[in-house]
Amino acid sequence: MGEIFAYDFMIRALLAGLLAGLICPAVGVFLVLRRYAFMADTLAHISLAGVALGLILGIFPPVATLAVALTAALAVERLRAAGRLHGEAILALMMSSGLALAVVLISLARGFNVDVMGYLFGSILTVGPADLLLILVVGVVVLGMLAVFHKELFFISFDEECARVAGLPVDRLNVLFILLVALTVSVSIRVVGVLLVGALMVIPVLTAQLVAGSFKRLFWFSLVLGVTVSFWGLVLSYRLGTAAGGSIVLLAAAVFALVQAGTALRRARRRRLAAAAAGKVPLAVLGERGSGS
């Protein structure tokens, strides 16, 4: 595996992947707790319009993507705070409108050699020094803000009304959080792509939920899983010649399936042992291993 580190582009790809694998689950924890996981996909699809807009206007695409994602995030939060539409309806409206805008802008930007596939499915091997610097800066900002406001965001995620009664500036914290989501999405699409960035935010968190017994463990397990699947997914991509973004997400899904299966087996075994202890099932049914436990 050492030959991977012999190439500058692979080193940049690994660093970008590890950073994305760190910040995506960090933000995704709060999205999952809020049952707002669809937000990541919505902003990712809207960000595609930022790519085309940047090419048309001659702006560095990641910067244009960042600006569009932040603007869209503020619009979503403004509509949600108004309370006239349900959250799912707002996200569906913004996602479809943003994707339509992206399609139109991409058609106008055909003469600018738009790498649509790279942005749809990720193009981590083409990450340049400027891209890596932007991901690093955004990562520091996102993790720094989460470190400062994690208690408040945790409170709001579980009971927003109670947080208001407690005197927290809920509206401002919601705006801050959704801006952090937009920042994370806009820089991560370079790694896993528009279609898969939501999965990198959500799947490690869902996997961690199966084994974590507290918020603290959930948060740190999610980050460890995100970094792990990003690293090994990229290694597998290099070895097998497959798309990096797809390899990362498929590996994350495989880990989830394994943990889910292991959890289901443990629960079934506990039920059998509990039934045996209550005298409902003969110990012999459990087999030698069950009776010896």
Give 119's contacts (C-beta < 8 A, 6+ positions apart): 48, 51, 189, 190, 193, 194
pLDDT 10s digits, 54-74: 777 777 777 888 888 888 888
pLDDT at 106: 76
Give a yes or no: residue 20 inside a domain: yes
| The pLDDT of residue 285 is above 70 | no
| The pLDDT of residue 260 is above 70 | yes
Our count of domains for the chain comes to: 1
DSSP letter string over 46-77? Answer: HHHHHHHHHHHHT--HHHHHHHHHHHHHHHHH
Tokens 């649509």 label which residue? 116
293: confidence class by pLDDT, cuts 50, 70, 90: very low
| The pLDDT of residue 273 is above 50 | yes
Q: What is d(CA 146, CA 81) in angstroms, rounded to the nearest whole number?
A: 22
Helices 61-82 & 170-192, crossing angle to 10 degrees?
A: 140
Backbone phi, psi, residue 61, to 5° = -50, -45
| The pLDDT of residue 287 is above 60 | no
Angle formed at CA 238 by CA 236 and CA 243, multiple of 5 degrees: 80
Q: What is d(CA 62, CA 47) in angstroms, rounded to the nearest whole number?
A: 9
pLDDT at 255: 93
Q: What is d(CA 188, CA 183) in angstroms, rounded to the nearest whole number?
A: 9
pLDDT at 125: 67
50, 52, 198 from 59: Cα distances, Å: 10, 10, 25
Q: Which residue has the higher pLDDT, 86 or 293?
A: 86
CATH code for the domain of 92: 1.10.3470.10
Give a yes or no: residue 267 inside a domain: yes
Average pLDDT over residues 136-149: 90
End-to-end CA distance of the chain: 42
Q: What is d(CA 63, CA 149) in angstroms, rounded to the nearest whole number?
A: 26
- Distance between alpha carbon 54 and the CA centroid of its chain, in Å? 24
pLDDT 10s digits, 157-183: 888 788 888 888 888 888 888 888 888
Expressed as residue numbers, the domain containing 118 is: 2-279
Q: What is d(CA 136, CA 20) in angstroms, rounded to the nearest whole number?
A: 9
pLDDT at 224: 92
Give a yes or no: residue 286 inside a domain: no
| The pLDDT of residue 258 is above 90 | yes
Give a yes or no: residue 207 inside a domain: yes
| The pLDDT of residue 214 is above 70 | yes
pLDDT at 292: 47
- Counted residue by residue, the chain has a size of 293
Cβ–Cβ under 8 Å, residues 24 and 30: no
pLDDT 10s digits, 3-44: 666 667 778 778 888 888 899 999 999 988 887 777 878 888
Give a yes or no: residue 58 inside a domain: yes
Residue 209 burial by Cβ neighbours in a 10 Å radius (0-12, 13-18, 19+): middle
2: confidence class by pLDDT, cuts 50, 70, 90: low
Tokens 């208001």 label which residue? 164
Give a yes or no: residue 284 inside a domain: no
Give a yes or no: residue 189 inside a domain: yes
Q: Mean pLDDT across the chain, nearest whole number? A: 80
% of the chain surpassing 70 pLDDT: 85
| The pLDDT of residue 109 is above 70 | no
Give a yes or no: residue 290 inside a domain: no
